[in-house]
Structure 1
Amino acid sequence: MNDLEQFFSDIRNSIANDIFVKITLSKPISKSFGLPNVYVRSVVIKEEQQLQFTYRYTTNDQTKNFSLEDGFDELSILLEEKFRAVTLFTLENDVMVMISKKKKTSIRKAAPSFKNKLPEVHDKPKTKRILLESKYLQFLGITDENYTIIPKMADKYRQINKYLEIIENLLVSVNTDKQLHIVDMGSGKGYLTFALYDYLINIRNYNVSITGIELRQNLVAFCNDIAQKCDFNNLNFVAQRIEEYDNSKIDILIALHACDTATDDAIYKGLVANAELIVCAPCCHKQVRQQVKGIEQESPLLKYGIFKERQFEMVTDTIRALLLEKHQYNTKVFEFISSEHTHKNVMLVGSKSTKKKDTESIDKKIEDLKELYHIKHHYLETLL
């Protein structure tokens, strides 16, 4: 049995054993195809299991559904004519096949990237993530006594929905069959903290406990009072500095807009606890900028103040991402909320991985960045 035959056998076995997650095709033979990737997932249509192909063209996405056998035929054609790499993701392992220009194949297996299967519905259901009749929305001033959203809070309501959608997608990498201990560092007035608790407990029926860490005592008292009124028994708020919080049991760490090095303190707590998921929306980024103040920078990008500020924000968060990768996390950075509200809209996510990282290579990338921008140290580095 050659590598491709083995690969297709692995696909069939994963579907039969209900551990199939998805297939990704990459490394197109020619850029002229305008088709960088194809993604394949399992869907159930009219009680029949099918394979749904999403063709990710540079200009648009196209989706087609195939029976299992027709899907295997389509996969064979794509690997023969258009792609040099394919990865099968299952709950047991990842299987990767590379195809050389001379059509020689190599296959290798790695630890699984996913802990949960993808939904097998054809049309993405409209997920209700916020129950407008929830009491906490009234207590926080988002809805009125008639459970209607107050106009000036409409943006906040949309932000909460977007936040829950992001968390929902990130939970694919988390073991949700156990009790999850979630810590929200810098919880503020608790808009997102209450919404997350209500969503996970009352809509998803997960077994979770959430602790909100907030320095301002008045906000902690305010939030604990609402939690009590709403019978949110596994939600509590603590008045404490992030760096002083002492709890090694953290499954998911969240730190949204924790100012400057408070983001690093939060990431550090997540790393020490070996958290499965670390979710940050960094803010302020003063530490590196203050450190290089007055130092001549060669790059013309740093001639203008506004560009300098944004460049060092990117450098700061890139080093954070690299340090997460060094500690065996898969990282991604994306837009959290629309830039029309604030340009500080970046979300940095680290999901725990079992794959070993090339720490020497990561260290070199960090040192090269520091040397390029004349940075002596990054605060998170000093914590680690």
Structure 2
Amino acid sequence: MNKQNITKLKLFLMGLESRFSENCNIFKGIYVNYIAGLKEFKGSGVYEEGKIKYNFNGKTELMEINKLFSTISEEAEIYDSLTVLYRERGNDIVITADNKNVKMTTTEVKEEEVTQPINKSFNSYANHIGETSTLLNRDYYIKVGKADSLLKEIGIMTKEGKIKNDRIRKYNQIDHYVELLEGVLDQLPKNQTINILDCGCGKSYLTFVLNYYLTEIKKRKCFFIGLDRSEQVIEASRKMASNLGYRNMEFKALDIKEYTPDKKIHVVISLHACDTATDMALALGIRVDSDVIIAVPCCHRELLNQYSYEPFKGILKHGIFKARMADVLTDGMRSMMLEAKGYEVSTVEYISPLETPKNLMIRAIKTSEERPELMEDYIDLMAKLNVYPALYSFLNQW
């Protein structure tokens, strides 16, 4: 290749170097194809501990990204043309170069081939995943085809590329989860890494889904931290992240109260944490001044045996009414505390109450400083109900 186009090639490769340096966590691989006459010579590289493990002409070497691109440019001088495919999560970047021209194109990763073609119409899509009665007539956020690797890893899809019949309901739930969070997450700061903390992460399925959506669909730079006391589930999550190539995740086996962040936390998530574990997560989110706090509470036992309210004596003598009221008071007082701490709070149904009665999602966005007058209302309600909520306790302990 001539020197003029080698210079152009180097400029494009400098752009890729900058891209890699900015967010190497989404790099998937690089593939180089040189042509000399009728012969082809192929090289390929994969990520390894911040460097690229590159194989060319039977030789494998671990290189810094700038050394790799310098090597590619030098090799290009002795060939007629080359093609460089630089793969990221969600994007393919292709550079083609010869003696006439140098071009670079960026495309979103195309949907993988599936066992049957997917038409955009609802009926064809429903037929593809094998059941029509429980599908939603909507444009899914987590699409079959593009998200196949993710859906297979979390057990929603078969190896053959079909949504499992007994997992269609779960597929709908995870997609609705993304829908409920999209507008909230769009309000987070741009042009910086969004750090998301999942408290009591368990197997982290929804966190993997959110990672996929933010990284590959929304093109946001993000990093996820999962906390859980169980070393077993933490190891399972680490293995899934490794299988998927999700390097922008780390998992720690420890109690929420033991965690001290080493970076700004933008989002705190607590999904189905049992009883006061939700309060621990909310308290942590408030303590680290998280921009967004998301909670889907599970069982509510704490206030049931604490609260009393004389005007409702005739109603609360019935156990089922007292239990349901305890649920409302628990999540209602959680929302009040978040508002007192400067958050704008909304509560929505996460999934249908036909699925589970524990179906509320609390979404809180930090919009102001603490509001003392709302804290006074909270403390006054504590006195009237004769309760001492765990969230209040945790905030005063930390």
Equivalent residue letter for 2:164: I
Q: How does 1:224-235 map to 2 (within 5 A)?
A: 224-235=238-249
Does residue 1:261 correspond to 2:282, yes or no? no
Q: Which runs of 5+ in 1 are unaligned?
A: 1-124
> Which one of the candidate residues 176, 193, 206 is aligned to 1:192?
206
Say yes or no: does 1:359 pair with 2:372: yes
Contact 1:259 1:283 in 2 (8 A): yes
Equivalent residue number for residue 374 of structure 1: 386
- Is 1:179–1:208's contact at 8 Å kept on the other side of the alignment? yes
Per mean C-alpha deviation after superposition, the further-off stretch among 175-184 and 282-291 is 282-291
Deviations 1:106-133 (A, max 9, x none): xxxxxxxxxxxxxxxxxxx946334544
1:252 aligns with 2:267: yes
Q: Does residue 188 of structure 2 align to residue 177 of structure 1? A: no
Aligned pairs for 1:290-305 (under 5 A) are 290-292=305-307, 297-299=310-312, 300-305=314-319
Paired residues of 2:223 and 2:248 also in contact (CA < 8 A): yes
- Letter in structure 1 aligned against 2:372: T
What are the residue-to-residue correspondences of 1:68-217 with 2, within 5 Å? 126=139, 128-132=141-145, 133-217=147-231
Separation in 2, partners of 1:285, 1:274: 25
- Shift, 1:198, TM fit: 0.6
Whether contact under 8 Å (1:277, 1:352) holds in the other structure is yes
How much does 1:185 deviate? 1.0
SS, match of residue 351 in structure 1? strand
1:346 is matched by which residue type in structure 2?
L
Of the structure 1 ranges 172-181 and 128-137, higher mean CA displacement relative to structure 2 is found in: 128-137
Shift in alpha-carbon separation, 1:305–1:230, aligned structure 2, 3 A: same
CA distance in 2, matches of 1:204, 1:172: 9
Aligned partner of 1:250: which letter?
Answer: I
Structure 1 residues 245 and 358: CA distance shift in structure 2, 3 A: closer
State the SS of the aligned residue for 2:377.
Answer: helix
Residue 367 of structure 2 is aligned to residue 345 of structure 1:
no
Which residue does 2:301 correspond to in 1?
A: 286
Distance 2:323 2:310 in 1: 13
Residue 189 of structure 1, CA deviation: 1.6
Deviations 1:59-78 (A, max 9, x none): xxxxxxxxxxxxxxxxxxxx
- How far apart are residue 145 of structure 1 and its match? 1.0
Identity %: 31
Q: Structure 2: which amino acid aligns with 1:206?
A: R
Give the AA of the match of 1:192. Answer: L
Task: For residue 291 of structure 1, give the secondary structure of its aligned residue in structure 2.
Answer: coil
Q: CA deviation at 1:342?
A: 0.6
**Structure 2: which 5+ runs fail to align?**
1-137
State the distance in 1 between where 2:283 and 2:233 align.
24
CA distance in 2, matches of 1:191, 1:371: 40
Q: Which amino acid aligns with 1:275?
A: S
Return closer, same or farther for 1:297/1:261 CA change in 2, 3 Å cut-off.
same
Which residue number corresponds to residue 61 of structure 1? Answer: none
CA RMSD of the aligned region, Å?
Answer: 1.9
Larger Rg computed on CA atoms: 2
Contact kept? 1:136, 1:226, Cα under 8 Å: no
SS state at 2:268 partner:
strand
Could you list the per-position Cα deviations for residues 190-221 of structure 1 after superposition, in whole angstroms to 9, with x for gaps in the alignment? 21011010111111110000111122222111
Q: Normalization by structure 2: what TM-score?
A: 0.61
**Aligned partners of 1:332 and 1:204: how far apart in 2?**
23
1:270 and 1:130, CA in 2 relative to 1: closer, same or farther beyond 3 A? farther
Q: Is this contact kept in 1: 2:303–2:330, CA < 8 A?
A: yes
Mapped pair 1:271 → 2:286: yes
* Structure 1 residue 162: Cα displacement: 0.4
CA contact (8 A) 1:279 1:347 kept: yes
Q: How far 1:171 moved relative to its partner?
A: 1.6
Distance 2:316 2:355 in 1: 25
CA distance in 2, matches of 1:228, 1:338: 33
- C-alpha separation in 2, matches of 1:247 and 1:301: 45
| Pairwise CA distance, 1:374 | 2.3
Partner of 2:64: none
Q: Which amino acid aligns with 1:333?
A: T
**d(CA) in 2 for partners of 1:135, 1:199:** 13
Q: Is the 8 A contact 1:260 1:286 kept in 2?
A: yes
Equivalence for 2:328:
314
